[in-house]
Structure 1
Amino acid sequence: MTPPTPAIVTQNAVSPLPRWALLLLCIAYVVPGFVGRDPWKSADVTAFGYMLELAQGRTSWASPLLGGMAPETEGLLPYWMGAWAMQIAPQWLPAEMAVRLPFAALLVLTLMATWYGVYYLARSPGAQPVAFAFGGEANAPDYARAIADGGLLALIACLGLAQLSHEVTSYVVQLSCTALVFFAVAAMPYRTVAPACALVAGTVGLTLAGAPALAVMLGALSAAVVVFAPGSGADRRLRWAVVIAGVVVAAALLALALDLWRWRIVGTAAGGKEWQSLARLLLWFGWPAWPMALWTLWRWRKQVFNLPGHRHLLLPLGFLALSIAATVATAPADRALLLGLPAMAALAAFALPTLGRSVGALIDWFTLLFFTVSALAIWVIWIAMQTGLPAKPAANVAKLAPGFEPQFSALALAVALAATVGWAVLVWWRASRDRAPIWKSLVLPAGGATLGWLLLMTLWLPLLDFARSYAPQVRSVMAVVGPAPGCVQTLGLSRAQVAALQYHGGLELTRAGLQDECDWLVADIASWPASERKVNAALWELQATLPRPTDKNDQLLVLRRVGSAP
C-alpha cells in the first residue's frame, strides 16, 4: 500500500507568486555580473582568451591554442559560442559584453528549465497533497505552480550559484544542459516534443561542453527513473526508455569520435581532496536549499523508495547524488557541485508543503538577519571607500587593495538604492501578516541573495574588478614596456595571464625560445631563472617585479634584452 503523502495544502496556500515579481527578481539576479565588469581570474578570463583567439582568426577552431597552450577542458562548444557571439555582434558592442550574451541566455534557460522541471514533478500523482474529506485541498495545476515558484526561489537563493553562473566557462553550459535533461525527464509523462528536444540538446550539449561521462550517467539515471518511477503507461514508458538509450549511445559515440573521453577522477593518495574543505563547500554552496532538501527526504521518507517509485523525489535525488559524487571525485569541486543545484532546489521545493509555522519563522528570521547585516556591511564599506569614514573600513580596503582608487557611479548608486528599498518592501510584506502561500518561506532567501549579489555588482564592482582581474597588473606591465613594445616573449605564464596580457595590454606574445628578435620578456616569478634550453638568462636584464595588487604571491617579472635600443 502506498504511504499517505505528508503534504497537507489548502487551495488558499497555492496562490501563485505574481509573474511580474518573479520576472523582476530574475532580471535583478541575471543582469548584474554580466554587465560592466572585467573578465575575472582565472577560469573566466582564460575562456575569454580562447574565444578572442578564435574570433580574430589566430587559432584553429578544431584545436584552439592560447599562448601555445591547448584548453584544459576538451569541450569546445563554449569557446565556439563566445567566438560566434563576438563575430556577429555590432562593432560598438565591447568584446567582453558580446561574449557574455549567450551565457546570460544560458542562465535564463537554466532558471526556466528548473521551474518547468519542478512544475511537472509536482504534477506527479505521488506528489499531490492529501485530499480532504469535504474538499478544499489544492488542485493539481495551482499546487504545481506554487511548488515550481518555490523551486525557482530556492535555486536563486543558493549562495554558490551567483558567481559561477555569471562566468563564460564550460560549466555554465554544463549547468544549463543538466537543467534541460532534468526538465526533459520530468516532463516526459505530459509532453512529447519539448522533452525530446530538451533531452537531445542537453545530452549533446553536455558532451560538447566536455562532460560526456556525466551525459551518459545522467542518461542512464533518467532511463531508470522512467522505468521504475513511472508517471505514464507502460507503452509510453518503454518508448521513452528506448529514446533515452538511443540519445545516450549517440552522445557516447560522438564523444568517442571527437576524442572527448578523459579520466578525471582525483586520487585520494596523491593530491586528493581535503575532506574539511569539501565539508565547508557543501555547507555554504547550496545554502539554504540543502537543509530544506534534507527536510524533504525526512518528511517524504516513506515515499522515497516505495515501489513504484515516486519520481518527484527519485529524479532530483539521483541528479543531486551524481553531482555530489562528482564533487568528491573530480576537480574543481565547486563547479561539479554547481550542476546539482537545480536538483537540490527541486528537493527543497517539496519541503514547502510540510514546513510547520515554527520552522518557517526560523527560516525567515535567520534570513532577515543574515542578508540585512550583509547589505548593511556592503553599504558601510562603500561609504567608507567614498568618504574615508568610518576610518577603519576605509583603512582595511586600502590595506587589502593597495593602489585602488574609488570610483563613483550615479547609475550604480541608483540601482543599489532601488534594490535596498525593494528589500525593505519585501521584508515589510513578509512580516506584516501571516501569509498563506507555501512559497513564502523562500521569498526572503531568494530576495536576500539577489540583493547581496546586486549590491556587490554595483557598489563594489570597481573594487572587485581591481581585486579579481588582471587589469591592474597588466597596466603595470604596460607602464614598463611602453605603448609599442613590439613582440613580447613569455615564460611560465598561465593561460589566464596570457589572455589578460593580450586583452588588456594588446600585446603580441610569443613563447620563449620561438622568436629571438623580441626585446621584452615577461616571466612568472616561479619560472625564473630559466633553464638554458628555454632562455639564456645572461641575455636578459630585469626591469621590474610586478605583483598583482591583491596577491603578492602572483608576480610577473619584466625583463629586457641586454643591448636592445632604449
Structure 2
Amino acid sequence: MNLPTPAIVTQNAVSPLPRWALILLCIAYVVPGFVGRDPWKSADVTAFGYMLELAQGRTPWLNPLLGGMPPDTEGLLPYWLGAWAIKLAPTWVTADMAVRLPFAFLLVITLAATWYGVYYLARSPGAQPVAFAFGGEATPADYARAIADGGLLALIACLGLAQLSHETTGYVVQLSCTAMVFFSVAAMPHRTVAPALALVTGIVGLTLAGGPALAALLGLGSMAVVVWAPGSDTDHRWRWALAVASVTFVAALIAWGLDLWGWRIVDSGSGGKEWQSLARLLLWFGWPAWPLALWTLWRWRKQIISAQGHRHLLLPLWFSAVSIAATLTTRPADRALLLGLPALAALAAFALPTLKRSVGALIDWFTLLFFTISALAIWVIWIAMQTGVPAKPAANVAKLAPGFVPQFSALALVVALAATVGWFTLVWWRASRNRAPIWKSLVLPASGAALGWLLLMTLWLPLLDYARSYRAQISGVTAALGTSPGCVQTVGLSRSQVAALQYHGDLVLQRAGLQDECDWLVADIASWPASERMVNAAHWEVRAKIARPTDKNEHLLVFRRVASAR
C-alpha cells in the first residue's frame, strides 16, 4: 500500500528559478576565496607545500616528504592534482594560483552533483507530490527541478562550507567525490553512463584522497539502498548493486595496495568541553540545512519506516549519518562533517513542499536581519580601516593585527558594491513578489551566505591574508637572514611552517641533525632548546625572534652559528 505523501505542490509553486540567477550565484560563491590570496594556515599551506615539492621533483610521488616529514593524511590524489596543475600551468600563473584551479573545478563539481543528485531523487515515485482530483499538481520534471534548486541553495547557505571548500586540501577532493557517489546512486534508475562514471570516479577518488573507510561505508550503504529502494519500475537493482559492490571492492584493494587503511577513531571519553565543542560545531556548521533536514525526517517519517524503501529519504539519510558518525569519532571534526553537507542539503530540500507560510516568513526575516547586519558590519569595519572612522573599529583592527597596513583595491570595491546592491535588490524582489515557488525560503539564506563570503574575500582580503598567512612572519625571518643565507637548518618546525619558509622565503631548508654545514638555523620557540642529538645550542646565538603578528604564541627564533663553531 502506497502511503500518502506529505508534499502538496501546485504547478504554480514550481516555477523555475532563472538559470542565469543560479549560475551567477554559484560564480559569486566559487570564485572568491580562490583568487588573490596567499596559502593560509595551516592545512592549506601544508598541502600546497607537498604539491610544490612534487612539482619541483624534490620528493617521490608515492612517498612525498616536506622537510623530511610525511603527510599527516594518507591520501595522495590531492597532492598529485596540485603538482600536475603547477607543472601544466603557464609561467605567468603563480604556483599557489595554479593549484587552486583544479580545486575550484572540484567545488563546481560538488555543486553540480548535488543539484543533479537531488533532481533525480525528486523524480523517484515516492517523492512525488499528491495528485489532485481535478489536476493542477506539479508535473514530475518541474517539481524535481524546483526541489533541486532548493537543494543547491541549501548547500550554498551552509555556513561551514565557505572556507573549507575553498582550500586546496584533500577534504575538498573527498567532498567532491562524495557528491559524485551521491549523484551516481540517485541517478541510477534514470541514467546509465553518467552514474557509472561518477560511481567509479567518486569511490576510487575518495579512497585515493585518504578516505577508504568512508568509501567502503558509502558504497555498502548505497548498495543497500539500490536493492531495497530501486526507484523506478524498471528493476535493474541487482545489476547496479553488483556494480556498486565491485567498485567498492576494487577501491578497497587499491587502498590495501597503497597502505591507505588506518585506524583513526579517537577516544570518545573526552571531557565536557570537547563534547560542547562538537555540539557547537553541529549547530552552526550545517545551518540552516539541518533544521530543515530534521523537519523532513519528521514530516516524511511514515515513508522512512515503510517497507517500500523511499530512496529520496534513505540515500541522503545514510550519507548524512556516516558523516555525523565520522564527526563524532574522528579528527578533524569539521572536515568530516563537511562531507555530509550535500546529503544534508538534499534532506533540507524535501522539507520545502511541507513548510507552512509562517515558517517560511520566519526564515526570511531571520536571514534578512542576520546577513544585512553582517554585511553592514563588514562595510563599517572596512571604512574604518581605510579612513580611521569610526575610531573604535579601526582601533580594534590595529590591536588584533598589529603592523597591518590597509590596502585599497578599486576592483574589490566595485565587486563588493555590486554584490551589496544585488542583495538589497533580491530582498526587495523577495518581499514584493513571487511568493509561490517552493524554493523561495532558501533564496535569501543562500544569497546572504554568498554575499558575506564575497564581501570578506574582497573588502577584507588584505586583512585576512595578513592574519591567516605566514607572509608577514616569513618576511621578518628573511630580513634577519639577509641576502644569500645559503642553507638553513630547522628545529621543531611544523609542516606548515616549513612550507611557508620554502615558498615565501625561497629558502633551502635542512633538518637539524642530518648535516652540520649551515650557518643559519630557524627554530620554533616551543622546541628550543633542542635535543643535543639534533643541535649543540652552544654553537648558536640568537639573532632575531619573529612573531606571527596575529598569534602571540607562535614565534620563530633565528640563530647564527658562532664563529668559533665553524
Structure 1 length as normaliser, TM-score? 0.99
- Residue 565 (structure 1) shift: 11
Classify the secondary structure of the residue corresponding to 1:488.
strand
Look up the equivalent residue of 1:17 and give its one-letter code: L
The CA distance in 1 between the partners of 2:564 and 2:393, in whole Å, is 47
- Residue 62 (structure 1) shift: 1.0
- Corresponding position of 1:251: 251
State whether structure 2 residue 175 is matched by structure 1 residue 178.
no
- Corresponding position of 1:409: 409
Assess if the C-alpha contact under 8 Å between 2:154 and 2:288 holds in 1: yes
Show the 5 A alignment for 1:325-344. 325-344=325-344
- Residue 317 (structure 1) shift: 0.5
Look up the equivalent residue of 1:371 and give its one-letter code: F
Look up the equivalent residue of 1:527 and give its one-letter code: S
The CA distance in 2 between the partners of 1:54 and 1:194, in whole Å, is 32
Classify the secondary structure of the residue corresponding to 1:248.
helix
- Corresponding position of 1:394: 394
Stretch of structure 1 that moved more, 490-499 or 300-309? 300-309
For residues 154-173 of structure 1, the C-alpha deviation after alignment (integer angstroms, 9 at most, x for no partner) is 00000000000000000000
Assess if the C-alpha contact under 8 Å between 1:273 and 1:328 holds in 2: no
State whether structure 2 residue 197 is matched by structure 1 residue 212.
no
Assess if the C-alpha contact under 8 Å between 1:266 and 1:272 holds in 2: no
- Corresponding position of 1:12: 12
Look up the equivalent residue of 1:174 and give its one-letter code: Q
What percentage of residue pairs aligned between the two structures are identical? 81
- Residue 514 (structure 1) shift: 1.4
- Corresponding position of 1:516: 516
The CA distance in 1 between the partners of 2:35 and 2:399, in whole Å, is 28
Show the 5 A alignment for 1:248-397. 248-269=248-269, 274-397=274-397
- Residue 349 (structure 1) shift: 0.3
Give 5+ residue unaligned stretches, structure 1.
Answer: none
Assess if the C-alpha contact under 8 Å between 2:66 and 2:499 holds in 1: yes
Assess if the C-alpha contact under 8 Å between 1:154 and 1:442 holds in 2: yes
Classify the secondary structure of the residue corresponding to 1:545.
strand
Assess if the C-alpha contact under 8 Å between 2:124 and 2:232 holds in 1: no
- Corresponding position of 1:477: 477
- Residue 308 (structure 1) shift: 1.1
The CA distance in 1 between the partners of 2:233 and 2:420, in whole Å, is 50
Classify the secondary structure of the residue corresponding to 2:236.
helix
Classify the secondary structure of the residue corresponding to 1:459.
coil
- Corresponding position of 2:492: 492
Look up the equivalent residue of 2:12 and give its one-letter code: N
Look up the equivalent residue of 1:458 and give its one-letter code: T
- Corresponding position of 2:530: 530
The CA distance in 1 between the partners of 2:287 and 2:117, in whole Å, is 21
Q: How many residues matched?
A: 566
The CA distance in 2 between the partners of 1:51 and 1:167, in whole Å, is 13
- Corresponding position of 2:71: 71
For residues 263-321 of structure 1, the C-alpha deviation after alignment (integer angstroms, 9 at most, x for no partner) is 00001247998110000000000000000001111111111111111110010000000
Classify the secondary structure of the residue corresponding to 2:555.
strand
The CA distance in 1 between the partners of 2:33 and 2:503, in whole Å, is 19
For residues 368-409 of structure 1, the C-alpha deviation after alignment (integer angstroms, 9 at most, x for no partner) is 000000000000000000000000000000000000000000
Assess if the C-alpha contact under 8 Å between 1:490 and 1:512 holds in 2: yes
- Residue 516 (structure 1) shift: 1.1
State whether structure 2 residue 37 is matched by structure 1 residue 42.
no
The CA distance in 1 between the partners of 2:270 and 2:395, in whole Å, is 42
- Corresponding position of 1:130: 130
Show the 5 A alignment for 1:83-162. 83-162=83-162
Classify the secondary structure of the residue corresponding to 2:322.
helix
- Residue 435 (structure 1) shift: 1.5
Classify the secondary structure of the residue corresponding to 1:458.
coil
For residues 167-223 of structure 1, the C-alpha deviation after alignment (integer angstroms, 9 at most, x for no partner) is 000000000000000000000111111111100000000010010010000000000
Change (3 A) 1:273 1:263: farther
Assess if the C-alpha contact under 8 Å between 1:327 and 1:333 holds in 2: yes
Change (3 A) 1:134 1:261: same
Change (3 A) 1:21 1:294: same
- Corresponding position of 1:221: 221
Look up the equivalent residue of 2:536 and give its one-letter code: N
Structure 2 length as normaliser, TM-score? 0.99
Assess if the C-alpha contact under 8 Å between 1:230 and 1:308 holds in 2: no
Change (3 A) 1:551 1:17: same
Assess if the C-alpha contact under 8 Å between 2:125 and 2:232 holds in 1: no
Stretch of structure 1 that moved more, 204-213 or 301-310? 301-310
The CA distance in 2 between the partners of 1:271 and 1:191, in whole Å, is 49
Assess if the C-alpha contact under 8 Å between 1:117 and 1:184 holds in 2: yes
Classify the secondary structure of the residue corresponding to 2:238.
helix
For residues 482-521 of structure 1, the C-alpha deviation after alignment (integer angstroms, 9 at most, x for no partner) is 1211100000000000000000000000000112111111
- Residue 233 (structure 1) shift: 4.8
Look up the equivalent residue of 1:35 and give its one-letter code: V
- Corresponding position of 2:427: 427
The CA distance in 1 between the partners of 2:256 and 2:214, in whole Å, is 14
- Corresponding position of 2:418: 418
The CA distance in 1 between the partners of 2:2 and 2:310, in whole Å, is 10
Look up the equivalent residue of 2:388 and give its one-letter code: G
Look up the equivalent residue of 2:208 and give its one-letter code: L
The CA distance in 1 between the partners of 2:382 and 2:457, in whole Å, is 12
- Residue 479 (structure 1) shift: 1.1
Classify the secondary structure of the residue corresponding to 1:554.
strand
